[in-house]
């Protein structure tokens, strides 16, 4: 490949994918290792401590490289990129609502039950009221 054609392709890819550095585009020519695309669990033998190392290529850059590979007619999986994950369906979850809105049906049911018992409640209240008023009266004439 001549240097002029390389520069032309660099300009083309730079214009199409301006957010990818040119050195990232050159990664397509060599196989991408697992450490480039997946986080690695690293253990320090001296201290015995371990940690996760970030992948060298972020998910955004991996996606952009996959797009560039498709434009160039390359198979992105053969280059070392992981397979494109299928789009997940969003979980349909109802709104949380306010507490009084969530408890409305329970409250209406309890009110309905209390209204059905209301006649009995009023009778017992009147009887208690009569008993209290009769207790307060004395039989004395003065």
What does the pLDDT look like over 9-26, one tens digit per residue?
556 555 555 566 666 666
Same domain, 75 and 110: no
Same domain, 8 and 55: yes
Name the domain count of the chain: 2
What number is the average pLDDT over the span 107-113? 98
Is 10:22 a contact under the CB 8 Å cutoff?
yes
What does the pLDDT look like over 26-51, one tens digit per residue?
656 666 888 889 999 999 999 999 99
The whole model's pTM is what? Answer: 0.47
Residue 33 exposed, middle or buried by CB count within 10 Å (0-12, 13-18, 19+): exposed
- In which domain, by residue range, is 117 found? 103-134
């Amino acid at each position: 490949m001549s240097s002029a054609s390389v520069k032309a392709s660099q300009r083309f890819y730079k214009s199409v994918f301006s957010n990818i550095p040119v050195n990232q585009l050159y990664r397509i020519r060599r196989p991408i290792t697992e450490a480039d695309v997946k986080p690695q669990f690293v253990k320090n033998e001296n201290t015995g401590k371990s940690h996760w190392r970030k992948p060298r290529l972020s998910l955004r850059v991996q996606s952009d490289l996959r797009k560039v590979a498709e434009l160039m007619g390359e198979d992105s999986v053969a280059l070392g990129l992981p397979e494109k994950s299928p789009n997940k369906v969003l979980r349909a979850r109802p709104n949380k609502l306010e507490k009084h809105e969530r408890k409305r049906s329970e409250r209406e049911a309890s009110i309905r039950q209390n209204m059905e018992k209301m006649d009995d409640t009023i009778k017992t209240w009147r009887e208690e009221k009569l008993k209290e008023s009769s207790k307060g009266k004395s039989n004395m004439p003065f």
